[in-house]
Amino acid sequence: MPDIILKDITMIYPFQKVSGLFDRKQKKLILEHQKQMPYTSNEGVIAVQHFDTTIKDKAFTVILGPSGSGKSTLLRIIAGLERPTLGEVWFDDTDYTDIRAEERDVAMVFQNYSLYPNQTVYQNIAFPLEVKHTPREEIDVEVKKISELLKLTNKLDRLPQDLSGGEKQRVAIARALIRRPSIVLFDEPFSNLDVLMRSHLRSEIKKIHDVYGTTFVYVTHDQYDALSLADRIIIINNGIKQMDDSISEVYNKPLNRFCFEFISSASANIFEDIEVSKDGSFSLCGADYKLDQKQFKKLGKDRKMTVGIRGTNIEIGHSGIEAIVEYAEMIENDLYVHLVCQDQKLTVIEKTNNSDIIKYSHNQKVRIVFDETHFHFFDQEGNRL
């Protein structure tokens, strides 16, 4: 089974040949936006640009990025459903750039399940083996095996319309796995499912990866998916790779402000335009801190920076800086306390239980402490100091 090597991939979708005010406006906007990109083109929409990576054999790699950042395009390029405008796709030491999808040992699972509506679960799962003219008895054995793993054994006679969303996606995964492809691609497979079903399937898919030991590439805009599934996370924005590393590096040392905010989601707090004095000291909400020498040296001449800290690294207690509570809310099992501290809005996250929400009321004075070992510093371009 191979490593997937993407070499300097750029993908440009040509503008559709349609006229009309709306399209021209749209096109103008896109071109304006693309002017600031490293790869400029007037030919069409730049979906992916100068993208290099090696996706390790057998690993669980998550490609994480906002909507429209080029994730699906990358998967389609790996699958062979799209040919990159520039660059090459290699599986180990073989150039696959011009090899058709059918000749790649790759299966794909989509967000919308794409099951055959008039076929039973059994027939849907068996389909890839039917196409290969696998003997009937063998198909039977394989369908039984995979449906046990995906808890579908008692659903085999049903039609897709009689399944829940989670079950439909299980069928789609079973169908993708049955011919034991060496690479399985998942394009936001759980986006249509509710929170509980998502977390169920998340832990199952992790188990399936362990059992099958093949290469999984999983695309999502959800940082929880990424943090709970990945061996390795690739963060993408505007078609440009932002970071490509282990979970702990991505989480603990985000390379730029975008990565920090995206991986932290609602827990990100940002202090803009923080001035650093000549000796490296700076203050946040009236409390004083100091940059270490290494970070100080990377600062620009104007000595300004952005500071990030997660809500989980701020503590509400008996000492520290004074802040005023705006409101508190429970999100899943965490308490999010929204505060204002010297005009700076902050969100503190406490691991807690439901009854604690009554601890905080609007306009209440509290004291907070930042865990300074968890500050993230970025220069004015957004790069990590």
CB of 233 to Mg ion, least distance (A): 17
Identify which of residues 147 and 220 has a Cβ nearer to Mg ion in the complex. 220
Place of tokens 């349609």: 18
Among ligand ADP, Mg ion, none, partner that 45 touches (CB below 5 to 8 angstroms by kind): ligand ADP
The first and second tokens of residue 239, run together, are: 């078609």
* 289 CB-contact burial (10 Å; exposed 0-12 / middle 13-18 / buried 19+): middle
Rounded Cα distance, 375 and 282, in Å: 12
Q: Which of residues 237-256 bind Mg ion (CB under 5 A)?
A: none
Rounded Cα distance, 43 and 14, in Å: 6
The first and second tokens of residue 175, run together, are: 């169908």
CB of 127 to Mg ion, least distance (A): 24
**Under 8 Å between Cβ of 339 and 369:** no
CB of 61 to ligand ADP, least distance (A): 15
Give the Å distances, CA to CA, from 83 to 99, 282, 369.
9, 50, 52
Q: Which of residues 69-88 bind Mg ion (CB under 5 A)?
A: 72
- What are the residues binding ligand ADP (CB under 6 A)? 13, 45, 47, 65, 67-73
The first and second tokens of residue 105, run together, are: 């040992």
Q: How many CA atoms lie within 13 A of 78 on its CB side?
A: 33
CB of 239 to ligand ADP, least distance (A): 7
Identify which of residues 235 and 305 has a Cβ nearer to ligand ADP in the complex. 235
Mapped onto helix, strand or coil, the DSSP state of residue 261 is helix
Identify which of residues 72 and 85 has a Cβ nearer to Mg ion in the complex. 72
CB of 18 to ligand ADP, least distance (A): 12
CB of 44 to ligand ADP, least distance (A): 7
Identify which of residues 27 and 221 has a Cβ nearer to Mg ion in the complex. 221
CB atoms within 10 A of CB 103: 9
Q: Tell me the number of residues near Mg ion by CB under 5 A.
A: 1
Among Mg ion, ligand ADP, none, partner that 320 touches (CB below 5 to 8 angstroms by kind): none
Tell me the β-bridge partners of 237.
240
Identify which of residues 68 and 382 has a Cβ nearer to ligand ADP in the complex. 68
Identify which of residues 72 and 223 has a Cβ nearer to Mg ion in the complex. 72
Binding residues for Mg ion, per CB under 5 A?
A: 72
